[in-house]
Amino acid sequence: MSSTIARRRLGQLETSALGLGCMGISFAYGPPAEESGTQAIRRALDLGITMIDTAEIYGPLRNEEVVGAAIAGRRDEVQLATKFGFSFTADGQRIDGIDGSPANAKRALEGSLKRLGVGHIDLWYQHRVDPKVPIEETVGAMAEAVAAGKVRFLGLSEASAATIRRAHATHPIAAVQSEYSLWSRDVEDEVLPAILELGIGFVPYSPLGRGFLTGTVNAEALSENDFRLTQPRFTGENGARNVAIVEIVRSVAVKHGATPAQVALAWVLSRGEHMVPIPGTTKAARVDENAGALALRLDEDDLQRLDGIADRVSGSRNNEAGLATIDR
């Protein structure tokens, strides 16, 4: 494994300062890209990017199989993260709704271990908080998996500060994963102060604004099954207005001889040593590009220009269905 990638800690879990989100290999951004996605995972490991993030819902189920095959023979190099929290039928079909019950947690864990082909998961998240199940019950069941040696550390995704506190009082939480980027900063009000106080790490997903901040996304060219077509910031008048945001990022990139993606990631990385962003890609070349963000140092002028982006965003960060699943 390469030693060129800096290391950080999510609670007590040491990992690479940059991770790889694997959702798009199987799900959400158009047709699956398993072959190139597998190459991207292996390239990440070659570079020393060892935080690999998947979830039961991606595919659904299939993404864990792809990730498991990609890391076969290299398990000791990986800090492997996966997530549970949705309902499925016995044959693996998703049922609408969140399910944080202890029974679903146990079912999901066994399935994830089998699909990933591993004996344990390094970081196991509740993907979305279930308002019908007390967080103490869900985390209590997750803690049993830790005691059994099937999971090393626990995490929550899109949880409120109050929920994080209750969960952490039940069993230590190593990491919280939520959307965070130049144009999505709502966690700064309550969530980030809470996790800093509690010594919990933070894993920003979509740190590139689902690709928009890279300046390479044309909403009119997206495939019909790309979920970004349902996202308020990508289309119509909002999309047209948000192009100006990308130009700010691009101007900073030009100054440093970097790419907009590297600038957007460098900004997230600059927010603190407890941050381990997980940009997703299905291309090995993009893994290389993203890794370049670790060497980029933004100055005070850059940061001031970039910090103003959030106030200029047009449209909410998710559609109504997505926002409804976020714990508040």
Q: Is position 58 annotated as part of the catalytic site?
A: yes
**DSSP letter string over 23-86?**
HHHHSSBSS--HHHHHHHHHHHHHHT--EEE--TTTTTTHHHHHHHHHHTT-GGG-EEEEEE-E
88-140: pLDDT as tens digits? 776 767 777 899 999 999 999 999 999 999 999 999 999 999 999 999 999 99
Residue tagged active-site, from 58, 125, 180, 205: 58
When pLDDT is averaged across residues 285-293 and rounded to a whole number, the result is 98
- Answer yes or no: is 169 within a domain: yes
Distance CA 8, CA 183 (A): 24
pTM reported for the whole predicted model: 0.96
CATH value at residue 273: 3.20.20.100
When pLDDT is averaged across residues 74-100 and rounded to a whole number, the result is 88
When pLDDT is averaged across residues 174-182 and rounded to a whole number, the result is 98
- Domain region containing 279: 7-323
- Answer yes or no: is 171 within a domain: yes
Percent of the chain's residues with pLDDT above 90: 89
- Answer yes or no: is 1 within a domain: no
pLDDT of residue 328: 86
When pLDDT is averaged across residues 242-253 and rounded to a whole number, the result is 97
Residue 34 burial (CB count, 10 A): 17
When pLDDT is averaged across residues 281-309 and rounded to a whole number, the result is 97
- Answer yes or no: is 317 within a domain: yes
Position with higher pLDDT, 223 vs 89 = 223
Is the confidence at residue 2, as pLDDT, over 70? Answer: no
15-67: pLDDT as tens digits? 999 999 999 999 899 899 999 999 999 999 999 999 999 999 999 999 999 99
- Answer yes or no: is 119 within a domain: yes
- Answer yes or no: is 137 within a domain: yes
- Answer yes or no: is 245 within a domain: yes
- Answer yes or no: is 37 within a domain: yes
Residue 191 burial (CB count, 10 A): 24
Is the confidence at residue 278, as pLDDT, over 50? Answer: yes
pLDDT of residue 1: 39
Total number of domains constituting the chain: 1
Question: What's the mean pLDDT when you consider all of the chain?
Answer: 95
